[in-house]
Amino acid sequence: MATSSVSKGCFVFKPNFKKRKISVPIEDYFNTGKNVSEDSKLRFETYQLIWQKMKSETEQLQEELNKNLFDSLIEFLQKSHSGFQKNSTDWSCQIRLREIPTAALVLGVNVTDHDLTFRSLTEALQKNVTPYVVSLQAKDCPDMKHFLQKLISQLMDCCVDVESREEESMQATQKKTYCSMGFLSSWYMNVTQKTGPKVPSRKRTSSGQWQSPPVVLILKDMESFTTKVLQDFIIISSQHLHEFPLILIFGIATSPVVIHRLLPHAVSSLLCIELFQSLSCKEHLTTVLDKCVLSPSLFYIFQLLLTTQFPFKLSEKVLQALTNIFLYHDFSIQNFIKGLQLSLLEHFYSQPLSVLCCNLPEAKRRISFLSDNQCENIRRLPSFRRYVENQASEKQVALLTNERFLKEETQSLLENLHVYHTNYFLVLRCLHKFTSSLPKYPLGRQIRELYCTCLEKNIWDSEEYTSALQLLRMLAKDELMIILQKCFSVFKSSSGKQLGSTAKRIEEFLTQFQSLDAEAKEEEDASGSQPKGLQKTDLYHLQKSLLEMKELRRTSKKQTRFEVLREKVVNFIDSLVREYLLPPETQPLHEVVYFSAAHTLREHLNAAPRIALHTALNNPYYYLKNEALKSEEGCIPNIAPDICIAYKLHLECSRLINLVDWSEAFATVVTAAETNAGSTVSEEMNEIIHARFIRAVSELELLGFIKPTKQKTDHVARLTWGGC
């Protein structure tokens, strides 16, 4: 059946056998088309498993992060509503009664994540505070009428489960006819009085102890509401507040100042605003990264067999690409997680050996089942080849010929890799504890920055690292002790055997520092007996003695015991870093767990269609790879596709283009390409060339480079101001 027609634009295709559905399992698509690659099914399952775990992990995290915010919000709502409940005659209460309690929720500019937050907020409120929770978006409410209509229809939906059917139909008619605040408050009275006696047990438990639960109105995107609608609504509803207990929640993306910018004083004085700040999205990112990418032992207790929860790791470039997209483009956690998912998928899709990217015992089991092809794949890994080259010659031969030996070796290598990771993250955290408190943060403030640098290269070669060490050598004692304490707890939380001694060393350092305290006191006493060096002198003498003292200090360089100890600690950390924070590229088999194709990520997540178009038009050789099309920068040969030539010519024009000139120029170029010098041009050929020109022009119009204009006959207007 054709999909082009002059009378319709939609074509529905249904397979004939509708009931007998042979759905192709998704994992079948995991094969890369023709060549059925190894273990695709297993790989797909592993992917699913890891992704599910990651997803639930992040969701849980999000919930935890929101929990604090929601708790305080709910507390505020309950408190502010209690005044309405008590009907107290207290004067301050009376005053407060005239103000609409308002919670301003600052959520950050990552608008895409807000929906999730609001959804869970609505659920939480409905569970804890009131059944009447309404959320409105600016685009639904261009004016007051729509605003109220939406509000009323949503409110009525809220309690539709307790209303009977007929009432619902009645509401439907009312919905359309009559929307006002008066109607709303009478409706509210009606409902609360009815539900009060009628369904006491159910309602009471859900909405707390209140007779009349408040109505919570969430304005999701406060900034984009029309000021007039907002003002009117607030003024009107404040008049009805005594019979219609409204509570507002503003979702704010920028800063709380915007409330006062949108609302004049007369209106904002009707509100009783309290500010709630959500966790900034950047903090959020750090925690997400921390948990997902770096968490070696989050589920340690539950899965004793698992030491690294997510065997899958990102390489430096990928991590950088993802954080760049996040920081420079959207601030959206959702998109970040999407990127994570995509990289996971790409890894399992493109790397046949990713079948080993699972927890260690499982991987070991899988190694023993590896096919010959897969063994060949292992041998082809660059990191493995490097490893083989460093072995003795008999071992080399054995590794390259003997499958069994190779498998054993792979197992041990994987185990090494695993141990490497465990140590790596411990030392990384430890180093982060040290560097995160330094002035100016030479190695970055967030652990992700540190992680990126460590992944990229030998960190000890970098200038930042040396300057950080220098700064560390100047730390005061109590600071140092706090850091050491933290490191100690990091190491202690892991029960890795290899680094057990490290924890002990740190503990030793700590006790030494403590003993230093006592000794220092004694020393102080001793130094107290020293004669006072400087008494009343003149300027010359003072200078002289100061110089002497300086000289003395330099030559003798007598360090205090604290300094010696500090030096030791720093050297110890340095040695730890040099031993354990090797970049992953140095590890054999790192390709199995590290995903490094950052360019695919960028291509699919952060594409640049404009540049692609520009390149295709300007430099067809880039795509067509025909030697005849090769040319220098900025020009194209005359045999290039028609549209490229037309495009090139149109770049030479300013705002308007004369079609006749254009077509003639085009014809000149094309005829020169088609005819060899001397031969005449037939009329038919001219016609064809003209037709080609027409096609090229209408294609450029479709692409949005030009548009027809009526300013002058037979002219088109240029729409772009780029390129040359």
Q: What is the CB neighbour count within 10 angstroms for residue 263?
A: 18
**How far apart are the C-alpha atoms of 465 and 458, rounded to whole Å?**
10
Kindly give, in sequence order, each residue whose CB lies less than 8 Å from that of residue 429, ignoring residues fewer than 6 positions away: 447, 490
If the CB atoms of residues 192 and 671 are measured against other proteins, the closer one turns out to be: 671
Place of tokens 């096609």: 695
**For other proteins, the closer CB: 583 or 641:** 641
Task: Please tell me whether residue 701 adopts helix, strand or coil conformation.
Answer: helix
What are the residues facing 134 on neighbouring strands? 217
* Alpha-carbon gap, residue 309 to 289, rounded angstroms: 13
Choice between 123 and 652, CB closer to other proteins? 652
Q: To the nearest whole angstrom, how small is the minimum distance from the Cβ of residue 313 to other proteins?
A: 18
Give min distance, CB of 137 to other proteins, in A: 10
Q: How far is the CB of 438 from other proteins (least distance, A)?
A: 12
Q: Distance (Å, rounded) from C-alpha 566 to C-alpha 568? A: 5
Least separation in angstroms between CB 370 and other proteins = 24
Taking the complex as a whole, how short is the minimal distance between the CB of residue 721 and other proteins, in angstroms? 5
CB of 436 to other proteins, least distance (A): 10
Q: Which is nearer to other proteins, 24 or 539 (CB)?
A: 24
Query: Cβ closer to other proteins: 425 or 705?
Result: 705
Return the number of the residue (273 or 616) whose C-beta is nearest other proteins. Answer: 616
Residue 329 CB neighbour total at 10 angstroms: 11
The Cα 566–Cα 550 span in angstroms is 22
CB of 56 to other proteins, least distance (A): 15
Nearer to other proteins, 386 or 695 (CB): 695
10 Å Cβ neighbour count for 610?
A: 10
- Min dist CB 113 to other proteins, Å, is 8
CA–CA separation, 64 and 341 (whole Å): 21
**Span between the terminal Cα atoms of the chain, in Å:** 44
Instruction: Dihedral sign for Cα 271, 137, 114, 63, please.
Output: positive
Estimate to the nearest angstrom the gap between the alpha carbon of 206 and the chain centroid: 36
Closest separation between CB of residue 694 and other proteins, Å?
Answer: 4
- Cβ closest to other proteins, residue 144 vs residue 651: 651
Helices (H), 458-608: 463-472, 477-493, 500-528, 539-556, 561-580, 598-605
Nearer to other proteins, 52 or 586 (CB): 52
Shortest Cβ 693–other proteins spacing (Å): 8
> Which residues, 6 or more positions from 486, have their beta carbon under 8 angstroms from its beta carbon?
433
| Rg (the chain; Cα; Å) | 36
What's the closest the beta carbon of residue 724 comes to other proteins, in angstroms?
5
CB of 98 to other proteins, least distance (A): 31
Q: What string of DSSP letters covers 188-256?
A: HHHHHHHHHHHSHHHHHHHHTT-SSPPEEEEES-GGGS-HHHHHHHHHHHHHTTTTS-EEEEEEESS-T
- Residue 413, CA atoms < 13 Å, CB-side half-sphere: 23
Instruction: Single out the residue of 125, 132, 178, 171 nearest to residue 155, CA to CA.
Output: 132
Cβ proximity to other proteins: between 549 and 628 the closer is 628
State the minimum distance, in angstroms, from the CB of residue 260 to other proteins. Answer: 13
Q: How far is the CB of 337 from other proteins (least distance, A)?
A: 11
Closest distance to other proteins from the beta carbon of 51 (Å): 8
Residues 693 and 666 sit within 8 Å (Cβ to Cβ) = yes
Question: Is 386 or 599 the residue whose CB approaches other proteins more closely?
Answer: 599
* DSSP E strand boundaries for 57-170: 100-106, 133-136
Q: Least distance in Å: CB of 344 to other proteins?
A: 10
Choice between 561 and 695, CB closer to other proteins: 695
Cβ closest to other proteins, residue 219 vs residue 598: 598
Type of residue numbered 495: S
Q: In what order do the strands lie in the sheet with 246-252?
A: 133-136, 215-219, 246-252, 100-106, 271-277
Q: Which is nearer to other proteins, 194 or 695 (CB)?
A: 695
Nearer to other proteins, 171 or 502 (CB): 171
- Nearest by Cα to 115 from 225, 64, 123: 123
The nearer residue to other proteins, 280 or 411, going by C-beta atoms, is: 280
Mode of pairing for the β-strands spanning 594-595 and 313-314: parallel
Provide the 10 A C-beta neighbour count for residue 103: 22
For 668, phi and psi rounded to 5 degrees?
-60, -50
Residue with tokens 């600052």: 106
Give dist(CA 122, CA 110) in Å, integer: 19
